[in-house]
């Protein structure tokens, strides 16, 4: 159960990361479109688990590795944007959000 503070920080980080990734564009991600679907913050606000949805979902793991490689630059940009709201800029841990693929698979199975 997340505290109110964790939820507020998670929403702030999600909004800012979405804008940062949008400004980067598809170039650093081999033409893939990334969406920040969820952010979960640790209780001490030092680690953010960022869930990314990748379109098209083929080679999503490669896109995840690219995001992990530029995580330092993304965190630096995040720090510049939230420096007046947060004392600690959280470490970013990226994960693939495959909920859409799962729902699509269930829908396909139900339509058979």
Residue of 112, 98, 90 whose CA lies nearest to 13? 90
List average pLDDT for each run of 10 residues in the chain, which is 112 residues long.
90 95 84 90 94 85 90 94 93 88 81 80
For residue 2, the model assigns a pLDDT of 81
For residue 55, the model assigns a pLDDT of 83
Give dist(CA 43, CA 1) in Å, integer.
10
Task: Write down all domains in the chain, each with its CATH number in brackets.
Answer: 4-110 (3.30.300.20)
Instruction: Find all residues with CB under 8 Å of 11, minimum gap 6, and list them.
Output: 39
């Amino acid at each position: 159960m997340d505290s109110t503070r964790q939820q507020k920080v998670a929403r702030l980080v999600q909004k800012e990361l979405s804008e940062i990734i949008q400004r980067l564009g598809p170039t650093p991600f081999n033409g893939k479109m990334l969406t920040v679907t969820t952010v979960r913050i640790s209780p001490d606000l030092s680690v953010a688990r960022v869930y990314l949805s990748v379109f098209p979902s083929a080679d999503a793991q490669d896109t995840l590795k690219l995001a992990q490689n530029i995580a330092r630059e993304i965190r630096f940009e995040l720090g510049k944007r939230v420096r007046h709201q947060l004392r600690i800029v959280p470490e970013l841990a990226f994960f693939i959000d495959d909920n859409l693929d799962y729902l699509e698979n269930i829908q396909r199975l139900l339509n058979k």
